[in-house]
Chains A and B, each alone.
Chain A
Amino acid sequence: AQTVTQSQPEMSVQEAETVTLSCTYDTSESDYYLFWYKQPPSRQMILVIRQEAYKQQNATENRFSVNFQKAAKSFSLKISDSQLGDAAMYFCAYRSSWETSYDKVIFGPGTSLSVIP
């Protein structure tokens, strides 16, 4: 069974600085998808970024980028120029390919990010 680990329960960053959130996963599959979700205090879960395992190029969305290391099964999220609105719980998630497990998604335990003004 797949597992997702986020070793940092809490992190903090100064406004305008850069922070990296860690995520590792365990799987025997070769085709899968990885996501970072953000859950602000309002509780609405929002997709931040996604990565297809077959793509070697790291995904980027504005100030958010990932470092995807498939061999190491690592998927870290880098937030540049941190803003107060980035304060939230961040979840790393793994999803098997449709052919194997349809729409089942495994979430990590989350990292609570605080942004210091």
Chain B
Amino acid sequence: KAGVTQTPRYLIKTRGQQVTLSCSPISGHRSVSWYQQTPGQGLQFLFEYFSETQRNKGNFPGRFSGRQFSNSRSEMNVSTLELGDSALYLCASSLAEVYEQFFGPGTRLTVL
């Protein structure tokens, strides 16, 4: 069974631009979560989707948004990029409820 895939793996943008990251969960997984990982702040929860509905949202500004499609694939969007948005963005999927999360390799975003 294929694991969680994220595209692109690396991305370089400039301040003020916007970016869209994609995540394909493991087949059959309906829950997708997004995290931002930085050396200073560690792993911070962005949001979580289940069956196309956002169930939880972390403490991030409105520039960060996401969505989930009917096939459980998810995208997150960051508008008006800032230097501080440079980070590794991780996507994780799970079956539901008690099941652990399986992580993708991440997308490394660099904002210049």
Contacts and interface: CB of A to CB of B under 8 A. Distances in A.
Interface of A: 33, 35, 37, 43-47, 50, 52, 91, 97-98, 101-110
A98 B56 CA distance: 12
B43 A43 contact: no
Interface residues of B, number: 24
Contact of A43 (B31, B42, B56, B88): B88
16 contacts: A43-B105, A44-B106, A45-B92, A45-B103, A47-B101, A98-B96, A101-B56, A103-B33, A103-B101, A104-B33, A104-B48, A105-B101, A106-B45, A107-B35, A107-B42, A109-B42
Interface residues of chain B: helix, strand, loop or mixed (majority)? strand
Interface of B: 31, 33, 35, 42-43, 45, 48, 50, 55-56, 88, 90, 92, 94, 96-98, 100-106
Contacts, number: 58
Contacts of B55: 102-104
Given A33-B98, A43-B88, A98-B97, A103 B56 contact: yes
